[in-house]
């Protein structure tokens, strides 16, 4: 969908000279800066919320976890980026509406 393809609706457009491409062998994206350096970090994203970490699942997709208890090493896992939590989106100024589908 035009203007929604790379997260523009939530993150805005990539900066001047930046490029993004889907990595064919997994679910990740690569970003190329104006000087040609490649990173897997979206330059429009802020840091993860405190305590959250990102890793790549053996299948190639990113997953996120938060260590709940250092002693027991208990973690909360998420298949979606915690920065897209509704409260975090609202803090970015995104208007959130709740829809009920029946």
Domains 1-45 and 46-94 share a fold: yes
The burial class, CB within 10 Å (0-12 / 13-18 / 19+), for 32 is: middle
Asked if residue 62 lies in contact with residue 54, where contact means CB atoms within 8 angstroms, the answer is: yes
Give this prediction's pTM: 0.65
Cα atoms found within 13 Å of the Cα of residue 78, Cβ hemisphere only: 16
- Specify the range with the lowest mean pLDDT, choosing from 32-36, 69-73, 88-92: 69-73
What pLDDT, on the 0 to 100 scale, is given for residue 41?
87
* Phi and psi torsions of 79, nearest 5°: -90, -5
- Biggest CA–CA distance in the chain, Å, is 49
For the domain spanning 1-45, the CATH number is 2.20.70
Predicted pLDDT of residue 37: 97
The CATH fold assigned to 46-94 is Ubiquitin Ligase Nedd4; Chain: W; (2.20.70)
CB atoms within 10 A of CB 91: 11
Q: How confident is the model at residue 4 (pLDDT cuts 50, 70, 90)?
A: low
User: What are 64's strand-pairing partners?
Assistant: 54, 78
Mean pLDDT of the chain: 83
Domain segments of the chain: what residues?
Answer: 1-45, 46-94
Indicate whether 2 pLDDT > 60: no
Query: Which residue, 89, 49, 87, 83, is CA-closest to 66?
Result: 49
């Amino acid at each position: 969908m035009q203007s929604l393809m790379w997260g523009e609706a939530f993150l805005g457009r990539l900066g001047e000279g930046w490029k993004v491409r889907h990595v064919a062998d997994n679910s990740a994206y690569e970003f190329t800066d104006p000087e040609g350096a490649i990173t897997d970090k979206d330059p429009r994203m802020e840091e993860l919320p405190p305590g959250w970490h990102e890793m790549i699942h053996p299948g190639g997709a990113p997953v996120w976890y938060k260590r709940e208890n250092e002693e027991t090493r208990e973690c909360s896992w998420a298949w979606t980026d915690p920065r897209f939590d509704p409260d975090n989106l609202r803090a970015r100024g995104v208007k959130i509406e709740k829809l009920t589908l029946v």
